[in-house]
Structure 1
């Protein structure tokens, strides 16, 4: 039997634990142990991930004797430099191993993939165009005109008369001479048709046809109701994140997909409303713009650890 994959909470906790471990091993004088403890106390997932990180550090922390002996006859500055590099490797090994355990191996081995915050475009052999959004992965099987969406979000523009198929964990999507976007989440896949036509075949349930301007979410057991969608939802294809009177919490959850590291915010910020179009090429600037227009303060511990709070004495 296959081992169930990690939940989104476990993956997020693993990333954060790896980041905390790296900060701890860097011997940064500004390291905030109280902040680490608050993070651990805030969730059972956090504490479990941290305990796993500590066990891994103990497993990999021993510096080989040959490395230690080689530093003894060096000047003090050289000894510190060598030992720092050795300890850095000792820290990175468990960090990489931890992330590798929590993130699916097939994502790392995918034919095409993007990093967090990255969007990329490719031209396929038949002239069709593929674009991947942040933190996404796709395998290619062009001999059978099939793509396999492993993670994240993609846009596909199909040319010619032969349809292209996209395999997802929940079923098969076929796109004919047109453009469609797919977004894969933990429990479902969303298909949005911009032009042409698409067919959705869940693992169980009837075949469903979609026309331009239509969108549907489907799971292995079948599809939900077909609905119209706002084209602004797909602004990521042009590097833009757009909100129209959107709850700030929802906007921040979407923005966090484009930022490496940890983005946290006070619950009091959830219900604030945001409207605007924001360029994804600089998410730090997006946070600054939000802070300028909303009663929100941005606290940057590092580029990869940001906390948002409700501004005190705000009206």
Structure 2
């Protein structure tokens, strides 16, 4: 189950549990379920788990609530609340592994961090990222998310991913770990890449390639200014609105939805990531969109 599918199922479940879902929301959910077999499989898992935790014995619940001891009532209410949250928590745990919470450094959704290294370099974490850092061994393990690493000296720093490892020295690199592989983008210098099978390759500045279970894919050129998140900027150059919004979603907690007819609209500009509400307002004014905010965490573009 992919992280995006788990996240979507958790969001749909939260909306239904809130009691605020409209007929249009139910129709949109059905469309999402029908659009891919994995969506329906994940939804059924969520429903099964929700049913499992909703089957508390009614008599026991009523008896406990009827008792005059406030302590017992408080405990039971907390238990009932926990039971209601378990399905969503389980889904979130599938997209945010427990290893991410145990990592040495991590960022929440929309948060970014920078750590200075003792050799004058730096390590930056993008949104929803977790890493383990062993400076004595000069090793960084990317547990989840995306990092940017600048190593100015000749002493190499190793970046370990689920799909292989990188040796970085006198170079700058961005590494984004995805469900389907690890995207390696070299901004400057050269980076040595070794896949899980032990095969080695070299990527040069301005080259980008996907490191997968089966090895390193063919490299493609990319704009070295593309990882603007390092400076808190999201940049688009005649980009389809759907692609832009999917990237913006990474920096916004909650649900961001849009009508399918908006997918092909084009976006150009640089947007500050520290205010994603402002980004939506700018898109609305420039593209003639309507921003419908049910809450701060549930926004629809139409």
Same fold (TM over 0.5): yes
Distance 2:200 2:236 in 1: 33
Gaps of 5+ in 1: 1-5, 310-315
Shift in Å, 1:173: 0.9
Out of 284, 296, 302, the position equivalent to 1:303 is 296
**277 and 33 in structure 1: CA distance in 2 versus 1, 3 angstrom threshold:** same
Give SS of 2:271's match.
Answer: strand
1:172 paired residue number: 165
Computed over aligned residues only, the root mean square deviation of the Cα atoms, in angstroms, reads 3.2
Shift in Å, 1:65: 7.2
Q: Is 1:217 matched up with 2:210?
A: yes
1:16 paired residue number: 8
What are the equivalent positions in structure 2 for 1:150-229 lying under 5 Å apart?
Answer: 150-204=143-197, 206-229=199-222
2:254 paired residue number: 261
1:280 paired residue number: 273
Q: Decide which moves more: 88-97 or 55-64.
A: 55-64
Give SS of 1:15's match.
Answer: helix
Q: Is 1:109 matched up with 2:78?
A: no
Q: Is 1:72 matched up with 2:81?
A: no
Which deviations, in whole Å up to 9, do the C-alpha atoms of 1:110-153 show, x marking residues without a partner?
A: 22222221111123455542111112222223343221222221
Q: Decide which moves more: 289-298 or 191-200.
A: 191-200
**85 and 40 in structure 1: CA distance in 2 versus 1, 3 angstrom threshold:** farther
Shift in Å, 1:154: 0.4
1:88 paired residue number: 81
| Pairs aligned (count) | 297
Gaps of 5+ in 2: none
**50 and 191 in structure 1: CA distance in 2 versus 1, 3 angstrom threshold:** closer
Shift in Å, 1:287: 1.3
Q: Decide which moves more: 246-255 or 17-26.
A: 17-26
Distance 1:48 1:215 in 2: 34
Is the contact between residue 197 and residue 211 of structure 1 (CA under 8 Å) also seen in structure 2?
yes
TM-score, length-scaled by structure 1: 0.80
Is the contact between residue 129 and residue 146 of structure 2 (CA under 8 Å) also seen in structure 1?
yes
Q: Is 1:59 matched up with 2:52?
A: yes
2:240 paired residue number: 247
What are the equivalent positions in structure 2 for 1:104-143 lying under 5 Å apart?
Answer: 104-124=97-117, 126-143=119-136
Distance 1:211 1:154 in 2: 18
**132 and 59 in structure 1: CA distance in 2 versus 1, 3 angstrom threshold:** same
What are the equivalent positions in structure 2 for 1:17-36 lying under 5 Å apart?
Answer: 17-26=9-18, 28=19, 30-32=20-22, 34-36=24-26
